[in-house]
Copies of this chain bind each other. A is one copy, B any other.
Amino acid sequence: MTELTRADCVAFDQDDQLASLRERFALPDGIIYLDGNSLGVLPRATGARLENLIREEWGQSLITGWNKHGWVNLPLHLGARIARLIGADTDEVVVCDSTSLNVFKVLSAAIALRPERRIILSDSGNFPTDLYMAQGLAQLLGRDHRLEIVAPEEVSNRIRDDIAAVMLTEVDYRSGRRHDMAAISAKAKAAGALTIWDLAHSAGAMPVDLNGCGVDFAVGCGYKYLNGGPGAPAFLFVAKRWLDATQQPLYGWFGHMTPFAFETGYRPKTGIERFLVGTPPVLSLAALGCGLDTFDGVDMRQVREKSLALGDLMIRLVEQECPDFGLALASPSNGAGRGSQVSYAHPSGYAVMQALIAHGVIGDFRAPDLMRFGFTPLYVRYQDIWDAVAILRQVLTNEEWRNPAYSRRAAVT
């Protein structure tokens, strides 16, 4: 294969039809940000929107803002906008709470639909909080429900008629390996099991086709590819066929049929709003709205194409520039089997990543030894990949990662 140069990468950027989207973001100077799969970059519009929300809407309208400025509709309104990104209808998605809590809600709903079954099937590549929520729910139910965790490649074989729900994250947060959502969902359906997909590393990174795949339930994260800000609210999806047939056990007043009648007995709202619980967090919701604005007019197929091209470029450049430093590709080399990230194992992965960060290349580390590089096609350039790999080569060549300062663990890594 011909060696690539930085000029080639700059040329790729010049041909990139999505290149102008980068202007929608306030990227810091001197940083190559390959961690949008952990926390998305600040959209340029968010600061002014929040300032207006705080000073004008809250400050001037106070309690009347709930109606006057439509705060009360934000969970549904934002859900409808996410629907386009994930292959859902607009009345099947709502924004609320955290991904963890939304897992609890949809998993409870799924289990209640399969009262004769006791097993929640997941895999060891699922994000831990999803597994924890399932464990907590199973213990709470105390009716022999249990979470069964198999290897990712064993999931399909394990789907049989004893499984109540198959709960998976489409894209593995460590390796970037991507499950075949269509095939697994079809197999689950045939076995009478319900599907719960976590789209934390999918929504906003690639087209998702929940209804095309016959998915029953899904959840996802607002602060990664959707650019909603640190700890942004999450979303959840319930297929229309289940909307009025299911309930979730977190009976809060925003899920009540008539919250402002202040009845003492719970009656769930019709539709997706019964998955709401407490008072919506308006500031955080408004920021997520600005994150979703960055997708206005964006074709998710083009996003996926660029995402894969960026990943393929990273893999090719690491092979070309860093062949001899003990980096082991930990992601599928085949794009179709991969999300929007590429991970490398390295025995001193943590320290190498800290050295990269010190040089302005921000990826992240996942135990035990994975360096993770995420590609957000809306703002990452081909030349950024070149520059990141060049700095990686420098760090490895000079063994900069041996600096003791780089081996101290921080609270969030």
- Chain A interface (Cβ < 8 Å from any Cβ of B): 26, 28, 31, 33, 35, 38-39, 41-42, 46-47, 50-51, 54-55, 58-60, 62-67, 71-73, 97-101, 104, 108, 124, 127-129, 131-133, 135-137, 139-143, 149, 174, 223, 229-234, 249-253, 255-256, 259-266, 277-285, 287, 357, 362, 364, 366-367, 410-413
Contact = CB atoms under 8 A, between A and B. Distances in A.
A120 B401 CA distance: 57
Contacts of A285: 231
A250 B54 contact: no
B97 A278 contact: yes
Contact of A264 (B131, B234, B413): B131
Nearest to A232: B281
A253 B129 contact: yes
A280 to B, nearest CB: 5
Contact of A100 (B60, B124, B252): B252
A335 to B, nearest CB: 25
A260 B132 contact: no
A229 B280 CA distance: 11
A279 B54 contact: no
A174 B261 CA distance: 12
B55 A252 contact: no
Nearest to A173: B262
Nearest to A143: B142
28 contacts: A28-B60, A28-B62, A39-B65, A41-B62, A42-B54, A66-B412, A67-B411, A98-B252, A98-B277, A98-B281, A100-B277, A100-B278, A101-B277, A124-B264, A128-B259, A129-B256, A131-B264, A131-B266, A132-B256, A132-B266, A229-B283, A231-B278, A231-B282, A231-B285, A232-B281, A234-B278, A260-B412, A284-B284
Contact of A251 (B132, B250, B367): B132
Query: How many identical chains are in the complex?
Result: 2
Most interface-central of A33, A66, A124, A129 (chain B CB within 10 A) = A129
A135 B264 CA distance: 10
Contacts of A101: 97, 101, 250, 252, 277-278
A278 B411 contact: no
A131 B262 CA distance: 10
B265 A135 contact: yes
A120 to B, nearest CB: 13
Nearest to A130: B253
A287 B278 contact: no
A35 B61 CA distance: 12
A284 B260 CA distance: 24
A124 B265 CA distance: 10
A234 B252 CA distance: 14
B54 A50 contact: yes
B59 A283 contact: no
A263 B51 contact: no
B62 A39 contact: yes
Given A129-B252, A143-B142, A250-B136, A98 B279 contact: yes
